[in-house]
Amino acid sequence: MIDNLDYSEDKTYISPKDLFNQILSKASSIFKNKEVLLNDYIPNEIHFRNKEMTQLTTALSPILLGNNSVNVFIFGFSGTGKTLVTRKVVNDLLEIGKQNNDNISCIIMNCRLDNINTEYRLITNLAKIFGAKLPDTGLSLAKVYDKFFDSLNMNNKKDLKLVLVLDEIDYLILKDPLFLYNLSRIKEKYDKLYLSLVGISNILNLKSRIEPKVISSLNPVEIVFSSYSADEIKGILEERVKLAFNEGVVAEGVVSKIAAISAQEHGDVRRAINLLRLSGELAQRKGESHISLEDVDLAYKESEKNIIEETIHTLAPQSKLVLLAILNIIEKKKSDTIFSGEIYDEYIKLANKFGYRELTFRRVSDLIYELDYNSLIRIQLKSRGRYGRSREVGLGFSKEVVPRLEDIIKNDLNKNL
Ligand SMILES: Nc1ncnc2c1ncn2[C@@H]1O[C@H](COP(=O)(O)OP(=O)(O)O)[C@@H](O)[C@H]1O
Ligand SMILES: [Mg+2]
C-alpha cells in the first residue's frame, strides 16, 4: 500500500503521524462501510425472491391460524438466499404472533456450524435453550427428550408453537436419517407442543436419502430456490456497492464482470459479494483509488485457492481418503483424468495406511459423487467402445496445487480431522 506514497530519502521530511494519516486516507478512499459486505449483514429489502418469500409465508401461515404444525423443506444451491429469506419470514411471523398474543417461539440452528450431527445433540441443544441443566454425555436419548419436555413445561403455561429452523439440515440427515421420524411424531410424546420444522438444504436430491415413511409422516411443503440470473446478481451487487464503497470506486464493468462469473457458478450471491469485497481489499493494498477489472481477476484466483482448501478441511475423513486416492493416481499417471474404476484399490491402501475403516465399493462410489457435488472433481461419462461405458474423473482445480492439497489432506488425516 505504501508503494504509491512518497517516503524516499531525498524528499522533504514526513513525520510518521502524517504518513499514518496518508495511509489511512488512502485506505478509506475505497470503502465507506465494509461491514455490509460481510456474510451476516441483513439487507433492508430482499429483491428477486418474491416467489420464494410468498411460498414460505403462505406455507407457515397455518401456524397463526390455530394450533397447527407445518413442515417445510427448502432446497437450493448455496448463495441463493435461503437463509436470508427464511430469517426474514420467521422474524415477521414472530412479530405478528406477538401482536396476536400467540405463544410462538422460533429457534434457528445451523447443523453444520453448530455441529449438530445426531438427534441426541439436537435435543440436548433444544433442552438447553429452554433452560434445562444437562450433562453433555451419559444420558439416554429418551431421558434427554424428557428433560426437554420438562424444560418446556417450566417455561410455558399455554400450548407452545415452536418453529424449529434447521439450516444446512443435510449435515444432520446424512449422518442420522431417522431423527426426522421422531420429530414428526413428537406430539405423541408431549401433547402441548406444536412443532413446525423448516429444513434448509443445499443438496437438491436430499429427499432420496430419506425413507418414504419419514417423508409421509412429515408431509413437508417443498420450496425450491432457483439460482439467480446474472442480471439479478448485478441488481443485488449494485445495492451493496452503494452502501459499501465510496463514489467512483466501483465501475459498472466491475459489477457486470463479477455477476457474470457468479452466474456461471449457479448464481451464488455469497461468492459474488465476497469477490466484490476481496477485489476492494486488493485495490486498497495496491494503493489504488478504484477497483480495476484486473483486480477482480486476481481476487478471483486467490479466492478459488482458498475455497478449495476450505472445502477440503470440511470434508469427512473418508471423503478425504477418496480424494487423496484420486490425487495420488493422477500424480502417478501424470495424466489429467483417470477412470473411476481405478480409485477403489488405491482408497483401500490409504484407508489401511491411515488406520480408517474400509468402506464398501458402493459407499466409495457415493463419496466420489459428493466430491463432484463439491466441485473438487468432475465426473464425465465416457464410452469405451466394446468395453461399454466408464466414468472418467478429472480435477476441479489446476494440477499445480495437487502436491499442496495432498499435504493438507495427509495432515488432516493424521490429526483425525
Ligand atoms: N435477494 C437478495 N438481496 C440481497 N442480498 C442477498 C439476496 N440473496 C442473497 N443475498 C446475500 O447473499 C448471501 C448469501 O445468501 P444466503 O441466504 O446465506 O444463501 P443460502 O442460505 O441460500 O446459501 C448473504 O450475504 C445474503 O445477504
Ligand atoms: Mg444458508
| Tens digits of pLDDT across the chain (417 residues) | 444 555 555 567 888 998 888 777 766 689 999 999 998 898 989 999 999 999 999 999 999 998 899 999 999 988 999 999 999 999 999 999 999 989 999 999 999 888 898 999 999 999 999 999 988 778 999 999 999 999 999 887 788 999 999 999 988 887 787 899 999 999 888 999 999 999 999 877 778 778 888 899 999 999 999 999 999 999 999 999 999 999 999 988 999 999 999 988 778 899 899 999 999 999 988 888 899 999 999 999 888 888 889 899 989 999 999 999 999 999 999 888 999 889 999 999 999 999 999 999 988 988 998 888 788 998 877 766 766 667 889 888 878 888 989 999 999 999 876
Q: Please state, in angstroms and rounded to a whole number, the distance separating the CA atoms of residues 372 and 58.
A: 35
Q: What is the DSSP letter of 9?
A: T
Q: Please state, in angstroms and rounded to a whole number, the distance separating the CA atoms of residues 127 and 160.
A: 14
Ligand nearest to the CA of 167: 2
Listed by start position, the domains of the chain span 2-42+229-309, 50-224, 315-414
Which one of 3.40.50.300, 2.102.10.10, 1.20.1250.20, 1.20.1560.10 gives the CATH number of domain 50-224? 3.40.50.300
Ligand nearest to the CA of 74: 1
Provide the CATH number for the domain formed by 2-42+229-309 in this structure.
1.10.8.60
CA of 200 to the centre of ligand 2 (A): 8
CA distances from 363 to 173, 318, 319, 339, 347 (A): 16, 10, 10, 17, 12
Q: In a mutational test of the pocket of ligand 1, which residue from 269, 274, 277, 307 has the highest number of ligand atoms less than 8 Å from its CB?
A: 269
Residue nearest to atom 17 of ligand 1 (CA): 81
CA of 224 to the centre of ligand 1 (A): 15
Q: Which atom of ligand 1 approaches the CA of 76 most closely?
A: 22
List, chain by chain if needed, residues with CB within 6 Å of any ligand 1 atom: 39, 43, 46-49, 76, 78-84, 236, 269-270, 273
CA of 291 to the centre of ligand 1 (A): 23
Ligand nearest to the CA of 36: 1
Burial class (CB in 10 A: 0-12, 13-18, 19+), 116: buried
Is the Cβ–Cβ distance between 81 and 46 less than 8 Å? yes
How much helix, strand and coil, in percent to the nearest 5, is found in the chain?
Answer: 55, 15, 30
Classify the C-alpha dihedral 236-237-243-244 as positive or negative: positive
Residue nearest to atom 6 of ligand 1 (CA): 81
Q: In a mutational test of the pocket of ligand 1, which residue from 42, 53, 84 has the highest number of ligand atoms less than 8 Å from its CB?
A: 84
Helix (H) or strand (E) holding 180: helix 179-184
**Architecture in CATH of 315-414:** Orthogonal Bundle (1.10)
Burial class (CB in 10 A: 0-12, 13-18, 19+), 352: exposed
Ligand nearest to the CA of 82: 1
